Chains A and B, each alone.
Chain A
Amino acid sequence: MSWRFFRVTYRLGMIGAMTWGLVGVAWASIAAAIFPTVANSLPHGTLMQYYQAMPKELLAAMGLTDISLLFPNGEYSYAGYLGGEYFAFFPLLLGIYSVVYCGGLVSQEIERGTLDMHLSQPISRVGFLFSKFSGFGALVLTATILSYTGLTVASWIGGESINHLYLAGAHLVALLLSMAVAAYATLASCLLADPRRSLALAGGITALTYFANIIGSAVASLDWFQYLSLFHYYDALHLVAAGEVNWAGVGVYLGVFVASLAAAALVFRSKDLVK
């Protein structure tokens, strides 16, 4: 692994990471700002009744697996609101970032011709790949920290209290999910030399599995669909409102991460780099 390649990757991707992170901050600020309006828009108890009246399948499709966490004391909770609104989409945001960046991690270097320059230097291919991937890891961590900071500041300004440990846990698990997505996107990038094709492959897998989770949650006869999706194992509501981590899900993320990255390294190690 090369510290210098790591730094170059981080430096070149910094603007992108800041952009993704700031999108998260803006979204967090809007979510926090409109919470009082949403919470007080209806007479007491009406919102809870509204949710209770919704079909369970539809609620599951929205990631709302336990309504009691949304209304712990009969009141609409800020943590539950964040779990159902912000964190229902934050992992998707990081997932898209991972696909966009890592789907071209190697293939874009091949297309630009810069991979020739790198690999004609005394660095192992696996070392190069891990340096680049670690650089991306630092970028996505930056975006995640920005989101955490944004939510914390927005909550403070809005006068809403939040458990920071739970908030950090929700961010951390989302980070793990995005690293698993990044790992299979990197594998796609090593398999296909054309960045458009590798992006399409990684993006296609991510989109299909995202919708598989929604369909599997909503349609009882297709419930096995949801287990194919990494997004299924991210239970935002339990994470943010109760601090409950789905450890099996964490295991799945780590498994996909390690297996995909190892496969990417194996493919890349023996790949022909044709001009």
Chain B
Amino acid sequence: MAQTPVIQTNGLTKYYGRVRGVEDLTLGVMGGEVLGLLGPNGSGKSTTIRLLLNLLQPDRGGGRIAGMDIRRQSQQVRQVCGIVLGEPAYYEHLTGSQHLDLLQSVHRTPNKRRDEMAERFQLDLSRPIRAYSKGNKQKLAILMALAHDPDVLIMDEPSQGLDPLMQRELHEVLREEKARGKTVLLSSHILSDVQRVCDRVAVLGNGHLLTTISVQDMQHTYARRIQVTLTRDALPEDFAYPGITNVQCSGRVAELTAIGHIGPVLQKIAALPLEDVVAPEASIEDLFNLEIEGREPTP
């Protein structure tokens, strides 16, 4: 029997007047999966998340989370979700602990992981919010999402404002949540976030879903920059093969972009008088630029 996605959108469409937020977005996140939403500013990532949480009303389409309709059962949906929204804001006079108390009373479930997470993210909950730095406010948002141990996590730019150490901790926590069978939808423009924790990536551009691909496939099949050094001067004709583009020759060194599986390209290159080949691991930035800029690989 086919597994039903835990998070599902069907033709989700939202316009802000004449400006497109998202259009015909159909997306599914399976149980225990971490899906990354990638895209530049204005691509529709935050709109998608706000539609899922019923903070915005869709013009068309709909969706379900954990089998519940995101509009008609939005309150129940939020009961099973841990949510981080972009640029979190709080009551400045209340402490972090008081915010968590408020959350607990609304959820009517104990904040089982409150102390554990506060310790992991090194957050002092006894201080008033006005004494918190931007990073600490972000940590509190993450804590509020995780404290009641929800089954679904929906996070909009969760690592924003965190220092590298805390970013690493967040990645670790998300990997653990995945291992515990939790479903995560993560929006980010920090591509390393996605690379480190996501199973799949949905790339958005101008409110459209451009592609959905697994991180593994993406790294193996998309644009990859290769540097080839020959024992003689390199000529563009040496690399005139299908799957190779954007060739730049300078003396004995040629830089080129290989698209798709790298094996056949390397076989062709192997026939040349080689001195050295450098092919660094593909980054998601390559994919990102490729998809947004109309399948043109990064030069």
Which positions in A face B, CB cutoff 8 Å?
2-5, 8, 12, 112-114, 116-117, 119-124, 270, 272-275
Q: Which of B82-90, B183-191, B223-231, B288-296 contacts A (4 or more CB under 8 A)?
A: B82-90
Task: Answer whether A4 and B106 are a contact pair too, CB < 8 Å, given A120-B55, A124-B75, A272-B56.
Answer: yes
Residues of B within 8 Å of A123, CB to CB, are: 75, 106
Interface string of B172-183 (1 = CB under 8 A from A): 000000000000
Q: Contact: B102 with A113, CB < 8 Å? A: no
Q: Contact: A12 with B88, CB < 8 Å? A: no
Q: Contact: A120 with B89, CB < 8 Å? A: no
Q: Contact: A3 with B105, CB < 8 Å? A: yes
Q: Contact: A122 with B50, CB < 8 Å? A: no
Residue of A116, A119, A122, A272 contacting most chain B CB atoms (<10 Å):
A122
Residues of A within 8 Å of B57, CB to CB, are: 270, 272
B207 to chain A, nearest CB (A): 14
Q: Contact: A4 with B102, CB < 8 Å? A: yes
Bound: A112/B91 CA distance, A: 9
Bound: A2/B101 CA distance, A: 13
Main secondary structure of the interface of A (DSSP, over half): loop
B78 interface residue (CB < 8 Å to A) = yes
Residue of A8, A112, A117 contacting most chain B CB atoms (<10 Å):
A117
Q: How large is the interface on B (under 10, 10 to 19, 20 to 34, 35 or more residues)?
A: 20 to 34
Q: Contact: B89 with A114, CB < 8 Å? A: yes
Q: Contact: A122 with B107, CB < 8 Å? A: yes
Cβ-closest chain A residue relative to B154: A120
B192 interface residue (CB < 8 Å to A) = no
Q: Contact: A273 with B55, CB < 8 Å? A: yes
* Contacting residue for A121 out of B46, B76, B78, B94, CB 8 A: B78
Cβ-closest chain B residue relative to A15: B93
List which B110-157 residues lie within 8 A (CB) of chain A: 144
B298 to chain A, nearest CB (A): 30
Sample 22 A-B pairs with CB under 8 A, ordered by A number: A2-B106, A4-B101, A4-B106, A5-B106, A8-B94, A112-B89, A113-B88, A114-B90, A116-B55, A116-B89, A117-B89, A117-B144, A122-B76, A122-B79, A122-B107, A123-B75, A270-B57, A272-B55, A272-B57, A273-B55, A275-B46, A275-B50
* Contacting residue for B85 out of A112, A117, A274, CB 8 A: A117
Bound: A123/B106 CA distance, A: 7
Bound: A119/B83 CA distance, A: 10
Q: Contact: A274 with B76, CB < 8 Å? A: no
B103 interface residue (CB < 8 Å to A) = yes
Cβ-closest chain B residue relative to A124: B75
Q: Contact: A117 with B88, CB < 8 Å? A: yes
Interface string of B58-98 (1 = CB under 8 A from A): 00000000000000000110110101011111110110000
A201 to chain B, nearest CB (A): 22
Q: Contact: A120 with B91, CB < 8 Å? A: no
Bound: A2/B104 CA distance, A: 12
Bound: A113/B102 CA distance, A: 16
Cβ-closest chain A residue relative to B56: A272
Cβ-closest chain A residue relative to B88: A117
Q: Contact: A12 with B91, CB < 8 Å? A: yes
Residues of B within 8 Å of A2, CB to CB, are: 105-106
Cβ-closest chain A residue relative to B145: A120
Residues of A within 8 Å of B102, CB to CB, are: 4-5, 8
Cβ-closest chain A residue relative to B54: A119
Q: Contact: B78 with A122, CB < 8 Å? A: yes
Residue of B86, B103, B144 contacting most chain A CB atoms (<10 Å):
B103
Residues of B within 8 Å of A113, CB to CB, are: 87-89
